[in-house]
Chain A
Amino acid sequence: MLRRGLTLVAVLAALWGLWEGYRAFGVAVGLTWPFEVNNRTMPHIHDMIGQLFEPSRRNGPLLIEVLGKASLFTAKEAAVGFALGAGVGFLLAVVLVHSMLLQRGFLPYIVASQTVPILAIAPMVVVWLGGRGLPGWFSVSVIAAYLTFFPVTINALRGLQSADPRAHELMDSYAASRWTVLWKLRVPASLPYLFAAFKIAATASIVGAIIGELPASIQDGLGGAILNFNQYYASSPESLWATNIIAALVGIAFFLAVVLAERLVVRRAPENLA
């Protein structure tokens, strides 16, 4: 426990050192490649963090408050999208695992669907759902769901098929129904794979939520905040950096939530590492 804490401190210190070190070096030498190093391109880290406790605009609330609200907003979108995508993905996998024919028919498209930059069709999704009277943030959730369902489907499929054939034979010897086999054998066997997918999906849903907010012109979330502070970059670069730090923390928090859930739910055999 102590060692973990120390490693964390060491890593953060190393990152801080790299940043400030490169910055000091770049300023001293007048570095222009790959990019010019100055207060605008590389603000001090303590300035970035300090900015959180400044008002976000004249007489306005503190930046950290604004970002906190934006984070919650985006997190909600991402969570809904994650739940939707994971649910659909899992259902899809359950259907596919029972039919080789359906698998061969649909898998190539499921894979290919990820090469379609969904974020590219985000504007269309927003217009379509908006036309149906659904709130803007829901479109964002749909986009997040699209990014979530793919890793979940693929991994769930592999997981549902991962049980030892002999375990299946045992079930057959009990004349177990498909439903029983599904819930007593396939699903428990698929848990490690599911959690691997959830870890990827957690990040994907946050990314989807942030980016999805842009074409939806949503102001209340992190995506909107990034766009907003991007406009004021010249006068206050620290604000954009602070926003990005918060966004990074939100992404990591989502990921850690899944890791925690995994620890509680799944007990794995240690990996063979040498």
Chain B
Amino acid sequence: MTSAVVQPVPRNFGRMMGRRARDWVPAIVIFVLGIGAWEGFVRGLDVQRFLLPPPSDILRTFWEQRDTLTSAGLFTFKEALGGFVIGSGAAVVAALVLARWRPLGDALMPYAIAANAVPIIAFAPITNNWFGILSPASKMVIAAVICFFPVMVNTLRGLTSVRPQSIELMRSYAAGEVEIFRRLRIPNSLPYVFTGLKVATVLAMIGAIVGDYFGGSQEALGIQIRRSAGIFAFEEAWAAIFVASVLGIAFYAAVALVERLVMSWHPSARGSRTE
């Protein structure tokens, strides 16, 4: 048998990591250079120090205030997480419903896409009035609505982007709609769902933090940033932003990790392959 067969992804962990590490070198170099330049530029030229403090000062301020900042970070993260779960959960359910009743789904898809264009954040004052300005629920609702449409649109697309021949195959097995969903549409949609979820993590964090701009609890990160900036204590503001960033990246990475585990079969998880 001379047909070419591709080896499964090598189990050689070390070799895989080696290749990966090499890919990251340019990014690490840029990071080091960037931080170094930032530090040097700001200190050396004493430029805009009060607006853009050197990284060392930011880290120092973060360390000094780590208790307040981490608790604020967790408070806001809970709002974001709650919104993410509610919004994405509802979105997946909605997508399943719309994929099942296609005429409805096809008719509503453009509206879902348009609804995504509405600046949801503008509704923060209203949710504040509904749930109380201090309640995390008001920000959670905003985050949930922001997450809903991207996840729904992506999931719906994943459920319906199936090759006609795959459907014919299932029909040749006299499979009913439920079976087609279970064995074809849902597994097919997973890459799309995770794309939507990753976008949603970022949106949920932003929704939670920016929702605070219209008013919120003192314990929330957004309020702290606004307050610090308002009194020109920019080191504190940047330290809070640093926390927000780290949380956002961690959230995104967590979802990406789950994606890797669930979809180990996906082409993007392959190591090297020849086609």
- Interface residues of chain A, those whose CB is within 8 Å of chain B, are 7, 11, 34-35, 40-41, 101-102, 104-109, 112, 114-117, 119-121, 123-124, 127-128, 199, 202-203, 206-207, 210-211, 214-215, 222, 226-227, 230, 233, 237, 240-241, 243-244, 247-248, 250-252, 254-256, 271-274
| A27 vs B8: C-alpha distance when bound (angstroms) | 63
Q: What separation, in Å, do the CA atoms of A256 and B119 have in the docked complex?
A: 14
12 other A-B residue contacts (CB within 8 Å) besides A106-B30, A117-B210: A41-B129, A104-B23, A104-B27, A105-B30, A115-B249, A120-B241, A199-B113, A206-B117, A207-B119, A210-B122, A226-B125, A247-B118
Q: How far is the CA of A272 from the CA of B167 in the complex (A)?
A: 12
**Beta-carbon contact of B126 and A115 below 8 Å:** no
In the complex, are the beta carbons of B116 and A41 less than 8 A apart? no
Contacts of B52 in A (CB 8 A): 124
For residue B117, which residue of chain A has the nearest CB?
A255
In whole angstroms, what is the CA distance A210 to B131 when docked?
23
* Given A7-B107, A114-B202, residue A251 in contact with residue B126 (CB < 8 A): no
Q: Is the CB of A11 within 8 A of B241?
A: no
Q: How far is the CA of A123 from the CA of B210 in the complex (A)?
A: 12
Q: How far is the CB of B195 from chain A (nearest CB, A)?
A: 12
A133 to nearest B CB, angstroms? 15
> Contact at A214–B213, with CB atoms within 8 Å?
yes
Complex interface: chain A residues within 8 A of B229 (CB): 123-124, 127, 215
**Cβ–Cβ contact B121 & A115, under 8 A:** no
Enumerate chain B residues within 8 angstroms of A199, measured Cβ to Cβ: 113, 117
Of the candidates B114, B118, B202, B214, the one whose C-beta lies within 8 Å of that of A256 is B114
23 A-B pairs, CB-CB below 8 angstroms? A7-B107, A34-B131, A40-B129, A104-B27, A105-B27, A115-B205, A117-B206, A117-B241, A119-B209, A120-B240, A120-B241, A121-B238, A203-B117, A206-B117, A206-B119, A210-B122, A215-B213, A240-B126, A248-B118, A255-B117, A256-B114, A271-B161, A273-B161
| A interface majority secondary structure | helix
Decide if B10 is an interface residue (CB 8 Å cutoff): no
Contacts A120-B209, A203-B116, A251-B117 hold; do A105 and B29 have CB atoms under 8 A apart? yes
**Main SS of chain B's interface residues?**
helix
Name the A residues within 8 Å of B232 (CB-CB).
127
- 1/0 per residue, CB under 8 A from A, across B102-133: the answer is 00000110010110111101110110111100
Let me know if B119 and A247 touch, CB within 8 A.
yes
Alpha-carbon gap, A214 to B248, bound state (A):
23
Chain A hits for B128, CB < 8 A? 230
Chain A residues with CB under 8 A of B117: 199, 202-203, 206, 251-252, 254-255
In the assembled complex, the Cα of A34 lies from the Cα of B132 at a distance in Å of 11
Q: Residues of B within 8 Å of A, CB-based: how many?
A: 61
Q: Which of A11, A108, A211, A243 contacts B121 (CB 8 A)?
A: A211
From known contacts A119-B209, A252-B114, A272-B161, infer whether A124 and B26 are also in contact, taking CB-CB under 8 Å.
no
Q: Which of B38-62 contact A (CB under 8 A)?
A: 48, 51-52
Is residue B100 within 8 Å, beta carbon to beta carbon, of the partner chain?
no
Residues of B that sit less than 8 Å from A by CB: 23-27, 29-31, 34, 48, 51-52, 107-108, 111, 113-114, 116-119, 121-123, 125-126, 128-131, 137, 160-164, 166-167, 202, 205-206, 209-210, 213-214, 222, 225-226, 229-230, 232, 234, 237-238, 240-241, 244-245, 248-249, 252
| A105, A112, A120, A214: the one within 8 Å of B26 (CB) | A105
Q: CA separation between A221 and B29, bound complex, in Å? A: 43
Task: Report the 3 A-B pairs with minimum CB-CB distance, sorted nearest first.
Answer: A115-B248, A255-B117, A123-B229
Q: Which residues of B contact A112 (CB under 8 A)?
A: 245, 249
> How far does the Cβ of A223 sit from chain B's closest Cβ, in whole Å?
8
Q: Please, how many angstroms separate the alpha-carbon atoms of A227 and B232 in the complex? A: 22
Using Cβ atoms and an 8 Å threshold, which residues of chain B touch A115? Answer: 202, 205, 244-245, 248-249, 252
Tell me the bound Cα distance from A11 to B107 in angstroms: 9
| Complex CA–CA separation, A199 to B110 (angstroms) | 13
Give which listed residue, A102, A105, A116, A271, contacts B245 with CB less than 8 A: A116
CB neighbours (8 Å) of A106 from chain B are 27, 30
Q: Name the residue on B nearest A233 (C-beta).
A: B129
A residues in contact with B162, CB < 8 Å: 274
Q: Which of B31, B52, B108, B129 has the most CB of A within 10 A?
A: B129
Q: A254–B123 Cα gap in the complex (Å)?
A: 18
Question: Which residue on chain B has the smallest CB distance to residue A231?
Answer: B125
Q: Tell me which residues across on chain A come within 8 A of B234, comparing CB atoms.
A: 124
A34, B121: Cβ atoms closer than 8 Å = no
* Interface pair A128/B27, CB less than 8 Å apart: no
- The reply to whether A227 and B119 form a contact with Cβ atoms under 8 Å apart is no
Q: Given the known inter-chain contacts A117-B209, A120-B222, please indicate yes or no for A35 contacting B131, CB distance below 8 A.
A: yes
Contact of B125 among A108, A117, A240, A252 (CB under 8 A): A240
**Contact between B27 and A119 (Cβ–Cβ < 8 Å)?**
no
